């Protein structure tokens, strides 16, 4: 498929490393790209393993589309045929170009949301083009619909009603009180049943099942009531609903199996395949346990019915997949810190009584994504914490990881968004951030996760929950302060973890600026801070700011009505961070609830409404897209004459529309109507 510039409409800027993290923008959406960092260093076996796993991932796409709404596949088919036909002939100067452009935006929003409802707000999109125009364009490419069962006219009528009638399918998930949530939600997890009937159906299953180790009832099926009034589950299995694509998922999992890294991982795949074939939920639990306990391999993956946010009753799981591998560079960094954990514990400014005699660092849990699919594409999480089953988590543990290359892509793409120019006054501060903000950010996270949370101890007899609602803010502040205190330490230069003894200043500036000002862009006007991480950042910044006032450590300057931060004494700021760390550790170690309450309420909750208003106004002018999603990389297998893979190449040049059309061509096997 050849895609012209007019079709993609991309505004592309290359980052310092030459990689284009930001791609096109439309409606309220910004498309980004992530780099599969470290892929080239993997062995051929690992690359081949990833290749088949990402094929298995891409095959699941249409399941999610149909889960989101029963008409999604039909709507997509019609929109894409029009798009393909029009883009072959259009020059951009047609008299109906406004309608056409609105149509393209609509299609891209549908692609992004895996359906006709906004991925986040869940409201049905309002098309900016007319139904008369649309019908004319569909009829102009009528030949493309020859294979449609029931003919084009019936399909078109149905699709037009879905797109243009604002009174139907208004919300994908309705969570409003006092109405039947199933009847008022457009998602496709139930058919003909009321909320009461569905709840009764699963209450009964629960009551009859294992109370201690319950399976996740209902997670892999559509609940249906037939004409005779019988209520039953249509399971999503290889021979059931969605079987036409589940077959392909299974095929590719079995191809991948030969390249698994150990026998345990082969067993994980075997259990997953068995579950896809039978739909048996006990088998799914067996799979989840095997997966949670399989922590050795470099390459890992999620593939299945996982997240239940799309079902208003929270039972049915949407399909998603993530293929990933350990970030070996990050792992090396954190192993270095972990090996030296005792040195950091011994040298911290904390009272000796609150220190651990024997401390153990935690190794990195950073992964890089190779492909995002289903409910993780294109809008994705930056970390995963699975399995979801509570008893499995309790008895067998879980995997909690950060997706490093996704986080990095967000950070890199944010660079061109104007935030730094708007909120940093001096060129020297801008230079400082340009040079060292990234490395400080990584190091801060490593220190926070590997050492910060694990440092210090509770005094004997102190209840770990004694700080109650303030507990998580205090805990996050403790880990952050441990990181901040050590960022300037020559020990980090000695360990080869920071390029210079000056680099920490970027981390300090970013911390103070964020805590005092810029994180407020995420807070609604009139609201206080509620989330623990935001409270912790505000607490640290405001406390240090107030306690450094006498020495003029930091100041907030007003220039042309705009507020800016200036740090005058970085050394003194370190001393302040050390003092606060010592105090916060005392609060934690002694379970001083009143102390925690006083600190958090005084420094971590309140928002200055005047400053907040100013920050929000400055931010609004930057016109930054509120939602972001990712274009996937494209994997290509090179094969020998027997079809055996000899290498796997990854490329990043595919445009968003191009990618969507490729997926629709290569990974579609479901009928337009799935009953
Ligand atoms: Zn933390």
CA of 122 to the centre of ligand 1 (A): 31
Confidence (pLDDT) at 8:
30
Out of 35-49, 162-176, 522-536, which region has the weakest mean confidence (pLDDT)? 522-536
CA 354 – ligand 1 centroid, Å = 19
For ligand 1, the distance from its centroid to the CA atom of residue 365, given in whole angstroms, is 13
> DSSP strand E in 500-561: where?
554-559
Measured in Å, residue 475 CA sits from the centre of ligand 1 at 7
Statement: residue 186 has pLDDT above 80:
yes
Top pLDDT among 524 and 156 is at 156
User: Both ends of the chain: CA-CA distance in Å?
Assistant: 32
| pLDDT (average), residues 528-556 | 95
Tell me, in angstroms, the distance from the centre of ligand 1 to residue 478's CA: 9
Ligand 1 centroid from CA 311, angstroms: 30
Residues 19-45: pLDDT tens digits? 999 999 999 999 999 999 999 999 999
Winning range, highest mean pLDDT, from 9-18, 149-158, 397-406 = 149-158
Report pLDDT for 364: 60
- The pLDDT of residue 572: 98
Nearest to 59 by CA among 614, 669, 635: 669
Q: How far is the CA of 385 from the centre of ligand 1 (A)?
A: 14
Give the closest residue to 9 by CA, choosing from 31, 28, 41, 36: 31
Would you state the pLDDT for residue 363?
65
The tens digit of pLDDT for each residue in 61-78 reads: 999 999 999 999 999 999
How much is the pLDDT for 383? 81
Distance 448 CA to ligand 1 centre (A): 6
Average pLDDT over residues 458-475: 91
For 41-57+176-326, which CATH class?
Answer: alpha beta
For the chain, residues classed under CATH 3.30.540.30 are 41-57+176-326
pLDDT at 450: 84
What pTM did the predictor assign?
0.84
Per-residue pLDDT of 190-217, as tens digits, reads 999 999 999 999 999 999 999 999 999 9
Cα 664 to ligand 1 centre (Å): 40
Q: Calculate how far, in angstroms, residue 533's C-alpha sits from the geometric centre of ligand 1.
A: 8
- Tell me the CA–centroid distance for residue 476 and ligand 1, in Å: 5
Q: Considering only 295-299, 412-416, 632-636, which range has the smallest mean pLDDT?
A: 412-416
Whether the predicted pLDDT of 646 surpasses 70: yes
Distance from the alpha carbon of residue 472 to the mean position of ligand 1, in angstroms = 9
Q: Please give the distance, rounded to the nearest whole angstrom, from the Cα atom of residue 361 to the centre of ligand 1.
A: 14
Tell how far the Cα of 532 is from the centroid of ligand 1, in angstroms.
10
Ligand 1 centroid – CA 225 distance (Å):
46
Distance 674 CA to ligand 1 centre (A): 44
Residue 357 pLDDT > 70: yes
Among 43, 79, 253, 169, which Cα is nearest to 657's? 79
**Cα-to-centroid distance, 570 and ligand 1 (Å):** 24
CA distances from 478 to 472, 520, 589 (A): 10, 22, 11
pLDDT at 414: 85
- Cα separation, 649 vs 630, in Å, equals 19
Confidence of residue 446 (pLDDT cuts 50, 70, 90): confident
Q: Do 633 and 652 form a contact (C-beta atoms < 8 A)?
A: yes
Indicate the average pLDDT of the chain. 93
Q: How far is the CA of 564 from the centre of ligand 1 (A)?
A: 28
When pLDDT is cut at 50, 70 and 90, the band that residue 157 belongs to is very high
pLDDT of amino acid 33 = 97
* d(CA 445, ligand 1 centre) in Å: 8
- Give residue for tokens 């950070």: 411
Residue with tokens 């928002």, as numbered in its chain: 607
3-state SS string over 164-190?
HCCCCCCECCCCCCCCCCCCCCCCCCE
Cα of 177 from ligand 1 centre, angstroms = 35
What's the pLDDT at 382? 83
């Amino acid at each position: 498929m050849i895609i012209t510039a007019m079709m993609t409409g991309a505004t592309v800027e290359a980052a310092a490393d030459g990689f284009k993290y930001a791609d096109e923008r439309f409606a309220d959406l910004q498309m980004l790209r992530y780099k599969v960092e470290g892929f080239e260093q993997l062995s051929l076996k690992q690359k081949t393993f990833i290749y088949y796993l990402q094929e298995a991932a891409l095959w699941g796409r249409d399941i999610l589309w149909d889960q989101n709404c029963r008409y999604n596949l039909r709507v997509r088919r019609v929109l894409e045929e029009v798009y393909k036909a029009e883009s072959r002939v259009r020059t951009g100067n047609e008299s109906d170009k406004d309608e056409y452009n609105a149509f393209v935006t609509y299609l891209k929003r549908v692609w992004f949301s895996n359906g006709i409802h906004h991925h986040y707000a869940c409201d049905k999109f309002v098309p900016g083009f007319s139904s008369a125009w649309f019908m004319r364009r569909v009829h102009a490419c009528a030949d493309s619909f020859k294979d449609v069962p029931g003919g084009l006219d019936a399909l078109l009528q149905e699709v037009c009603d879905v797109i243009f009638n604002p009174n139907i399918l208004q919300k994908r998930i309705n969570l409003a009180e006092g109405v039947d949530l199933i009847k008022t939600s457009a998602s496709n997890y139930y058919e003909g049943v009321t909320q009461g009937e569905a709840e009764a159906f699963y209450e009964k299953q629960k009551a009859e099942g294992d109370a201690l180790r319950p399976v996740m009832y209902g997670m892999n099926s559509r609940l249906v009531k037939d004409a005779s009034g019988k209520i039953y589950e249509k399971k999503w299995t290889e021979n059931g609903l969605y079987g036409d694509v589940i077959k392909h998922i299974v095929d590719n999992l079995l191809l991948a199996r030969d390249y698994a890294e150990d026998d345990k991982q082969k067993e994980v795949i075997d259990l997953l395949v068995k579950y896809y074939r039978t739909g048996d939920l006990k088998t799914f639990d067996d799979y989840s346990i095997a997966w949670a306990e399989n922590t050795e391999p470099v390459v890992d993956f999620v593939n299945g019915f996982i997240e239940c946010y799309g079902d208003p009753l929270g039972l049915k799981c949407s399909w998603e997949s993530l293929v990933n591998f350990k970030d070996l560079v990050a792992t090396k960094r954190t192993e270095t810190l972990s090996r030296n954990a005792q040195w950091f514990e011994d040298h911290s400014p904390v009272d000796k009584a609150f220190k651990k005699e024997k401390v153990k660092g935690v190794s990195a849990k950073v992964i890089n994504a190779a492909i995002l699919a289903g409910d993780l594409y294109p809008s994705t999480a930056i970390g995963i914490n699975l399995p979801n089953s509570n008893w499995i988590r309790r008895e067998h543990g879980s995997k909690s990881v950060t997706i490093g290359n996704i986080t990095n892509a967000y950070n890199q793409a944010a660079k061109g968004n104007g935030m730094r120019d708007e909120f940093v006054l001096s060129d020297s501060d801008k230079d400082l951030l340009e040079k060292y903000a990234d490395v400080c950010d990584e190091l801060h996270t490593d220190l926070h996760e590997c050492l910060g949370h694990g440092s210090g101890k509770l005094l004997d007899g102190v209840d770990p929950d004694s700080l109650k609602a303030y507990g998580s803010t205090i805990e996050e502040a403790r880990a952050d302060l441990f990181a901040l205190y050590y960022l300037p330490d020559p020990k980090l230069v000695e360990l080869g973890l920071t390029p210079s003894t000056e680099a920490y200043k970027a981390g300090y500036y970013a911390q103070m600026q964020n805590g005092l000002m810029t994180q407020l862009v995420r807070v609604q006007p009139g609201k206080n801070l509620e989330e623990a991480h935001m409270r912790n950042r505000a607490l640290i910044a405001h406390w240090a700011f107030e306690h450094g006032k006498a020495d003029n450590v930091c100041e907030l300057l007003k220039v042309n009505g705009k507020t800016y931060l200036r740090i005058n004494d970085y050394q003194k700021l370190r001393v302040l961070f050390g003092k606060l760390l010592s105090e916060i550790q005392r609060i934690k170690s002694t379970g001083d609830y009143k102390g925690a309450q006083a600190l958090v309420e005084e420094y971590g909750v309140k928002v200055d409404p005047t400053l907040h208003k100013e920050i929000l106004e400055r931010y609004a002018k930057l016109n930054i897209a509120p939602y972001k999603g990712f274009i996937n990389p494209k994997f290509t297998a090179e094969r020998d004459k027997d079809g055996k893979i000899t290498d796997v190449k990854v490329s990043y040049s595919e445009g968003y529309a191009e990618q969507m059309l490729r997926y629709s061509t290569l990974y579609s096997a479901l009928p337009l109507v799935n009953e």
